[in-house]
A = this chain, B = another copy of it.
Amino acid sequence: MSSPSFLSTRARALTAGSSAGSALSSGRTRAQANEYNKQSNPDGIINLGVAENRLMWPDVVQKVPVCRFASAIARFLLEWSGLPSLQLNDGFQYRSDHLQYPPYHGTDALRSAIASVLTSFLFPLPTAQITPNQLQITNGCCSAISVVASVLADVGEAVLVPAPYYGGFYSDIEYEAQVKCIGVDFEPPFFRVQVEGLDRAYTQAATQGVTVRALLICSPNNPFGNCYSRDELIDIMRWCAKRHVALVSDEIYAGSVWGSADDDPHDRLYPFVSVLAIDSELEAGLSRDMVHVLWGLSKDFMVNGLRVGVIQSRNKEVVAACRQLAKFHAIPHPLDSLLASILSDHAYVSRHVALNKERLSDMYAHLTCWLRKKNISWIRANAGFFVWLDLRAFVQGMGGRVASLEGGEREAGDSTPVDRSAERLLAERFLEAGVYIALGEAFFCRDLGTYIRAFFVCTVQMKRGVISGSRLVPSRVRDRELGDVGKRPGADVERS
């Protein structure tokens, strides 16, 4: 009885998109259904393709004391019901209204706690003080992006995103807000953002009658795990001012910057600088009303499963409009209050962040030491919990075509189809070998050959994952290809 005419046009586009993306999503689905576990499922699939920082999981449990988390819920239920209250000295502020409708944009307590955490992560200028009134809580950062896209752009207008980019941005921008997500390709091997590329993309969109309303950057960068320099950010801000385009900075990895910048000015590792640490008006002529920051708890606090995102804006109209959409993206009232309690514990937050950075740094050292031995190259990182591996040699070893290492300038918005069959076959081989990897394709990387964003799962799983994969590459091919990479002058794509 089913007929396509029962669906709206936009719904048909959504479902068409889902089948087109199935080549990528099926691997993830298979990996999640058969996840590796040392004890219970040693033949399962190691997941190197999902942005979950597992290094801190045991500590999150220990440091956010279980008894406190549980007793806080018990306590509010008891007190609120009028039964004798439990006497617990855990700092949790009892609120009587947790089963009532919450303030959809987040309680004052949670927004205050997050204002404080963000201040410690972003080092905003005194003139950019982060206040609770600037903040809105959402059920995950995807919702935050969707809401901001809706508020900044009308249906059919566009947001530019430097590519390769976290693939979720595409659906975050397009699916619900119905705003076009236009990736702007930058050049390998370093993919740094330059205003000429933004200009080309903007002009090309304009030629097609599409108005660009915002530029979305992920800072620190996902999938590269490195930071924009202050100068790059100012260039971007100037460009936004010139084009009258809002700047949205997704700083969800701001609390996971674990490495230092290099002294060498030719190197590509910079310290993290929030857009709130730059006076956009003074330094770039960009109104502070056009700069918005996104954040969430998933990455820096390892709670992807809780779904908590944040929109920060100093533009009162943007804040007011976002709040009109808040009820569609609210989090549970008890979760709100529990998080407010946990995040108000400054000592805990400091310990947690320090320990996480230490572990991320250690894991990067372990992993890259081992990648060197295996002749696998990657882009150097100092933030997040992943590295961008260059697996073009793997693809070539299987007879697939790869982009030249020199890259070459590509037109922004050029949508010439690229033959990805060899890459997808490689991903399939990885899966058969027990490893799920996220292909460059999933990050809208237009370069042929495969890059992957591989995560610091844990040393054993990471190594096992890459070993399994490296068996797929004939050593002759690997040595030759990676030898070439090594000869590139000035390459700071690390390798042995």
* A interface residues (Cβ-Cβ under 8 A, vs B): 1-12, 14-15, 17-18, 50, 52, 57-58, 60-62, 66-67, 69-71, 73-74, 77-78, 80-83, 97-102, 139-140, 142-143, 146, 150-155, 157, 171, 175-176, 178, 213, 244, 246, 281, 287-290, 302-307, 315-318, 320-321, 323-325, 327-335
Pairwise interchain contact A175-B6, C-beta atoms closer than 8 A: no
Closest 5 CB pairs of A and B: A305-B333, A11-B321, A61-B81, A70-B74, A14-B324
**Chain B contacts of A140 at CB under 8 A?**
327-328, 330
Residues from chain B with Cβ under 8 Å of A11 in the complex? 150-152, 317-318, 321
CB pair B78 A305 closer than 8 Å: no
Q: Which B residues touch A52, using CB under 8 A? A: 99-101
CA–CA, A291 to B91, complex, Å? 49
Q: How many Å lie between the Cα of A98 and that of B154 in the bound state?
A: 36
A318 touches B99 (CB 8 A): no
With A7-B151, A61-B81 as contacts: A143 and B328 at CB distance below 8 Å: yes
B307 touches A7 (CB 8 A): no
Complex CA distance for A404 and B323, rounded to whole angstroms = 39
Which chain B residue has the least Cβ–Cβ distance from A4? Answer: B317
- In the complex, A218→B116 CA distance in Å? 43
* Complexed CA–CA distance, A150 and B13 (Å): 12
On chain B, the residues within 8 Å of A69 by CB distance are 73-74, 77
Task: Please tell me if the beta carbons of A329 and B332 are within 8 angstroms of each other in the complex.
Answer: no
Most chain B beta-carbon contacts within 10 A, residue among A6, A12, A98: A6
Q: Which residue of B lies closest to A98 (CB)?
A: B305
By beta carbon, the residue of chain B nearest A333 is B305
13 contacts between A and B (CB under 8 A): A10-B151, A15-B317, A15-B320, A58-B82, A61-B77, A70-B74, A73-B73, A99-B304, A142-B328, A175-B325, A176-B325, A306-B334, A328-B328
From A67, A74, A80, name the one whose CB has the most chain B CB atoms within 10 angstroms.
A74
Which of chain B's residues has its CB closest to A298's CB?
Answer: B101
Complex: how many Å from CA A305 to CA B329? 13
A61 touches B80 (CB 8 A): yes
Beyond the given A15-B321, A57-B80, could you list 19 further A-B residue pairs with CB under 8 A, ordered by the A residue number? A6-B289, A8-B151, A8-B213, A11-B150, A12-B321, A14-B151, A18-B323, A52-B101, A62-B81, A66-B73, A101-B305, A140-B330, A142-B327, A150-B176, A155-B155, A176-B176, A176-B328, A328-B328, A331-B332
Residues of chain B lying within 8 A (CB to CB) of residue A246: 6
Whether B99 contacts A152 by the Cβ 8 Å rule is no
* Chain B residue with Cβ nearest A3: B289
The docked-state distance in angstroms from the alpha carbon of A97 to that of B47 is: 13
Chain B nearest CB from A304 CB (Å) reads: 5
Q: With A8-B157, A321-B7 as known contacts, state yes or no: A99 contacts B57, CB within 8 Å.
A: yes
- Residues from chain B with a CB closer than 8 A to the CB of A82 are 58
CA distance A318 to B307 in the complex (A): 24
Q: With contacts A178-B155, A304-B101 known, is A14 near B325, CB below 8 A? A: yes
Kindly state the separation between the CA atoms of A61 and B8 in the bound complex, as whole angstroms: 42
Measured between beta carbons, the chain B residues less than 8 angstroms from A146 are: 328
> What's the Cα separation between A3 and B244 when bound, in Å?
12
Query: Once bound together, how far apart are the Cα atoms of A6 and B288, in whole Å?
Result: 11
Measured between alpha carbons, how far is A321 from B209 in the docked complex, in Å? 28
Q: Give A297 to B185 CA distance when docked, in angstroms.
A: 46
Q: Do A10 and B305 touch (CB < 8 A)? A: no
